Amino acid sequence: MGKYRDDVEQLLKLIGGKENIQAVSHCMTRMRFVLVDPKKADEKAIENIPSVKGTFTQAGQYQVIIGNDVAEFYNEFTAYAGIEGVSKDAVKAAAKTGQNPLQRIMGALGEIFAPLIPALICGGLILGFRNVIGEINFFADGTKSLADISQFWAGMYQFLWLIGEAVFHMLPVGIVWSITKKMGTTQILGIILGLTLVSPQLLNGFSVASTPAADIPVWDFGFAQVQMIGYQGQVISAMLAGFVLVFLEKFFKKHCPEVVSMIVVPFCSLVPAVVIAHTIVGPIGWKIGDALANVVYNGLFSSFGWLFAGVFGLLYAPLVMTGLHHMTNAIDSQLVNTYEGTILWPMIALSNIAQGSSVLAMSVLQKKNERAQQVNVPACISCYLGVTEPALFGVNLKYGFPLVCGMIGSCIAAMVSVGFGVEAFSIGVGGLPGILSIKTPYYLPFLAAMAIAIVVPFILTLIVGSRKLTAAERGKTGNAAADKSAPAEQAEGSGARSAQAEEASAGEEAELTGEIKSVLSGRVIPIEEVDDNVFSQKIMGDGVAIEPEDTTVKAPADATVTVVMKESGHACGLTLANGLELLIHVGIDTVDMNGDGFKLFVDEGQKVHTGDPLIQFDPEKIKAAGHPLTTMLIVTGEGDAKNVSMHSGIEAEAAETTVITYE
């Protein structure tokens, strides 16, 4: 009988049986299932299996977190179930077959805009800062701004527009690049096509409305004239142009002989794409984008704007769970470039806050439920910072009523926000920091809306949760005698510890502190800041993360290699002599690269010493695949170690700087 036989039997039964498994694979820590009917999986019961550390659904995959022993568990599971595992790519492909066309479109849209969001956030914050120093008259009895009275700030005001213009006016370049990256075609061709849309030879797209038709320059081909109009800030036009380029390149790659493809494919793809972009899809996209922005803008500013806002605020959280919320990125960007601001983004930030407030209430209700708190606390923090998925999937959807309470609070806050006409410069930081992207005249009404988004869901969740949650869910034992005896026991323990401390001070030798070094050189950050729910919520264990400055992962201590991912080469596990177990994981979701860009130097059972090379990786390949380089060092088991402590917020040198200590 295998080590995990009982757990394997339970998992197969609770997941809906063999017939409910369309495909299964695993990575360093998780089993990845594509299920025929996800509703058949009993999530609560699965999470109670001893080997299971948690579950979640992402990109059509039902993922069961096992830990370092996932490979052994996976082998036992597939053998017992009588099914054959497949590659990670096959699992991803199978997951997509279960999505309807709208879900696939929204998923693709999300993947296109995801790489652009950091730039859009940065641009929004810069515009907000420029507004504070150059547009608000704080001085001379309200007649002059900081830029008016200071040459330095006047120069800074002008200089910062260099970045703002690059983000918003040149946005089509980023969009077309991201489309080619997502679709697997030549990215430099996408960049060039994007540059032709915003070339300085063209009339700036923002100047078209104020330029008489007769003054718009044209290309004159004799038989036809084409207006020389730029598409600065245009989202839909850039997306259509990008897809035209992708189609043409894939077509010519398929039909062109390999021997001349290097010459024929780029020329026959790029030139027609540029022509079509400026003559057909560009003008069409402009009309569609304007129409879409006008519908949203006029709807929100109409006499029924409050109703539109209420529906949006109510339904935004469910939209996030379906992936349909990615469409708002395109609408927001179009609003910014058409109306120099967006009334939509503030409502999104308020929805983040409302769902976070529901989780905060759940944390209060479940303060004695240690297991629940391990999810509640980090989920609440990430939600208040604008990342809602951990809260939605890990807490609110699980219990149901916190999700609804958050939706109600978001609905009311959105109506208040729109009622006062609150606008943001651009997509910004979500959650509580969302105020940084709000136009300064609207700070007070947005603060009022934020207060509603915090208070209403919190109170509603407390009221409903106090009635709906069972004693077990709240972590209460119901044993009054035990509860009453706790203070006495604690006092006893306190006395014992005091006595021990006195003995130690009288000459007892203190235990030596063990040290675990950084696996890479770079900035060490708290594990809570990692953009992956499994790591940030400490489901696998506590640890630190490193933003690497070098490319060779080194052993952080003398240890034995207990786990390696030979196929992907992106992770390994170590065990120290005292039984303390470590997981080293390079990048996020890098298992999808199937080993491309990774070189593994060690095997299972091998002894290593501090500083020995473990893994080498190619950062450019990881970035090109769309994955963060953040590398995790996780304590998955403490063994005989005690008082394990993490040290972050420092610059580390590989195999030299201590990042974890223990006794």
Give which of 432, 362, 425 is closest to 399, Cα–Cα: 362
DSSP type of residue 396: I
Nearest to 533 by CA among 32, 36, 18, 58: 58
- Bridge partners for 615 per DSSP: 553, 600
Inter-residue contact 655 to 517 (CB < 8 Å): yes
Neighbour tally for 275: CB within 10 Å? 13
Residue 572 annotated among the catalytic residues of the structure: no
For the record, the structure tokens of 173 come out as 């370049």
d(CA 293, CA 300): 11
The answer to whether 540 touches 643, Cβ cutoff 8 Å, is no
Of the candidates 407, 311, 319, 323, which has an alpha carbon nearest to the alpha carbon of residue 358?
A: 407
Query: Which residues, other chains included, contact 455 with Cβ-Cβ below 8 Å and sequence gap of 6+?
Result: 357, 409
* Whole-number CA gyration radius for the chain: 28
- Dmax over CA atoms of the chain, in Å, equals 101
Sign, CA torsion 476/481/487/488: negative
Cα–Cα distance measured from residue 564 to residue 558, given in angstroms and rounded to the nearest whole number: 17
Rounded to 5°, the CA angle 16-20-26 comes to 95
Q: In whole angstroms, what is the distance from residue 230 CA to residue 197 CA?
A: 6
Do 614 and 564 form a contact (C-beta atoms < 8 A)?
no
Q: Burial level of 55, CB count in 10 A (0-12/13-18/19+)?
A: buried
Count CB atoms within 10 A of the CB of residue 610. Answer: 15
Residue 656, classed as helix, strand or coil, is coil
Q: Is 541 left (phi over 0), alpha (psi -120 to 50) or beta?
A: left
CA 306 to the chain's CA centroid: 30
Using CA atoms, how far residue 503 sits from 305, 490, 551, in Å, is: 72, 20, 48
- Residues 437, 427: Cα–Cα separation, whole Å: 7
Question: Which of 225, 193, 226, 233 has its CA nearest to residue 209?
Answer: 233
Alpha helices by DSSP H, listed for 436-538, are 443-468, 471-474, 480-505, 533-536
Q: Which is the catalytic residue, given 27, 383, 405, 572?
A: 27
Question: For the stretch 530-555, what's the b/e string if a residue is b when 16 or more beta carbons lie within 10 angstroms of its beta carbon?
Answer: bebbbbbbbbbbbbbbbebeebbbbb
User: With left for phi above 0 and alpha for psi between -120 and 50, is residue 165 left, alpha or beta?
Assistant: alpha
d(CA 332, CA 289): 11
Kindly list the catalytic residues.
Answer: 27
